[in-house]
Amino acid sequence: MPASTANNPRRKEAAPRKVGANDMGKLPPQALDMEESVLGALMLDKEAFSMVSDLLRADSFYSDKHRRIFEALVSLSVKDQPIDLLSVTDRLRTLGTLDEAGGAAYLSELTRKVASTAHLRYHAQVVAQKATARELIRMAAEVEEKGYDDTQDVDELLEEAEGKIFAISQRNQKRDVVKIDSVLSAAFSRMHKAAENKGNISGIPSGFTLLDKITSGWQKSDLIIIAARPAMGKTAFVLSMAKNIAVNYQVPVAMFSLEMSNVQLANRLIMNVCEIPGEKIKNGNLTQEEWAQLDHKVGELSNAPLYLDDTPAMSILEFRSKARKLVREKHVQIIIIDYLQLMNANGVNFGSREQEVSIISRNLKALAKELDIPIIALSQLNRSVEQRGGTGITGKKPQLSDLRESGAIEQDADIVCFIHRPEYYGITNDDKTSRSLIGLGQIIVAKHRNGATDDLWLRFRAQYAKFQNEDDAIPSDELNGVFHSKMNQSVEGGYVETSDGASVSGDGYAPPF
């Protein structure tokens, strides 16, 4: 070694650097030895395939020849034919993929590598996990590539990435076989709940007896549209329903309000649960008894699994992201949107508003199906209801053609309900039965993809922004008309609707919030 080098530590030769995996590049996650073990075990034990069929798919295998072998195994299983070395070899030969699978000699070698099938399930889980890791890497690479594209909308990219991750996580959720006793326990629990609801409720009960009788409860994957003209009580109806579902049945509910703030929604819920007029909630002018009632009842709300979101002008992409998170983290079982026409399709320039609403409704139906929960969306009706001629209770009755801005809403929805209150139009008696219609709202099930259509009546208590079953107990002074629905009477009827949406008279108040 030269003296200069020996005397200068800075010029010492560097020790050879160890070569790591990063120097050779990265290999996709794989477990070829596990793949061989699984395939060999499947050809040794005719009952083994049923042990792993829920975990593995052909693309779970990294090796192309292993995919071919597994495809042959699946083909034999579907036809209920025996699975062994000879049958798999013959099946691959029939499919013309025997050479691609490594030939008969390779199949024989696979069976010789396996001593038993004792650890088959564990080996299959490792293969499935490696496949999931490869899928995540592939998805991340696609997102990275699109992230460098300046023309790509970032919000769309975020929604797409989250959707793919959600799909991967859902596909890998497996359910184990359970003993009959636990299933019977769940079945009896549902039967008891149905009995308490006075009906055979297979879905999520709304708390409205006659409506649940028609629908059997809100069903999973259904898109439900609830439509009405302004001032008919759409928000009051869904808030009453959300209260029933979350408070009475303890079912997690999420409500997205694009029109009202969370505080306004909370005020309405307090009115609904505590039965304190909205005017007093706003100014805090409560009696001692009302404060006690508020303290007693508000606990029901605070403990309810009810989640509120008041993001204005929310896009369908943002909604989908939040909905997935609520289902995943909060186990939300039903979602309510107030209301559909206030959503947007992420700022994309459509030819017309009708096309945009069509995109939104289709996305809502697809999301209900993806999350396997009912989604309820409020919708406005067009002015043709007011312009329609006719007298009596049916004169202003909504029709499917009245749905505002899009015929696609009717097509995509599984159930379409209308809220109709003849009292709003000055019709206080049924012209056929002479029945008083004051303080009543008609719920019209105009479309029901999986059941019958029908009409029903609910009691509407305007001063509490509350719908309830007609036969539920209420104070006698309300039945006598002291607090009937004044917000919907005409001027001739003695009630005037104010500029802020409230209606006042000598005896009652209907809040605008």
Residues known to be catalytic: 259
Spatial strand order of the sheet with 375-380 comes to: 306-309, 253-257, 334-338, 375-380, 223-228, 415-420, 440-448, 454-461, 466-469
Torsion of CA 286, 466, 468, 274, to 10 degrees: -30
Half-sphere exposure (CA, 13 Å, Cβ side) for 343? 30
Report CA torsion sign: 62, 63, 67, 73: negative
* 3 state DSSP class of 8: coil
> Are 57 and 38 spatial neighbours (Cβ–Cβ below 8 Å)?
no
Residue that has been written with the tokens 């309405």 in this structure: 268
Do strands 415-420 and 496-497 pair parallel, antiparallel, or not at all (unpaired)? unpaired
| Maximum pairwise Cα distance, the chain | 119
Tokens describing residue 356: 């945009």
> Are 84 and 45 spatial neighbours (Cβ–Cβ below 8 Å)?
no
Q: Which residues, 6+ apart, have CB-to-CB distance to 284 below 8 Å?
A: none
Q: Show contacts of 321-327: CB within 8 Å, 24+ apart.
A: 321/158, 321/159, 321/162, 322/256, 323/254, 323/367, 323/371, 323/375, 324/162, 324/163, 324/166, 324/371, 326/254, 327/371, 327/373
First to last CA, the chain: 90
The Cβ of residue 66 has, within 10 Å, a number of other Cβ atoms equal to: 21
Spatial strand order of the sheet with 496-497 comes to: 496-497, 503-504, 509-510
Asked, as a colleague might, if the bond just before 495 is cis with ω within 30 of 0, I would say no
Q: Please state the φ and ψ torsions of residue 439, each to the nearest 5 degrees.
A: 75, 20
Listing DSSP states for 356-382 in one string gives: HHHHHHHHHHHHHHHHTS-EEEEEEB-
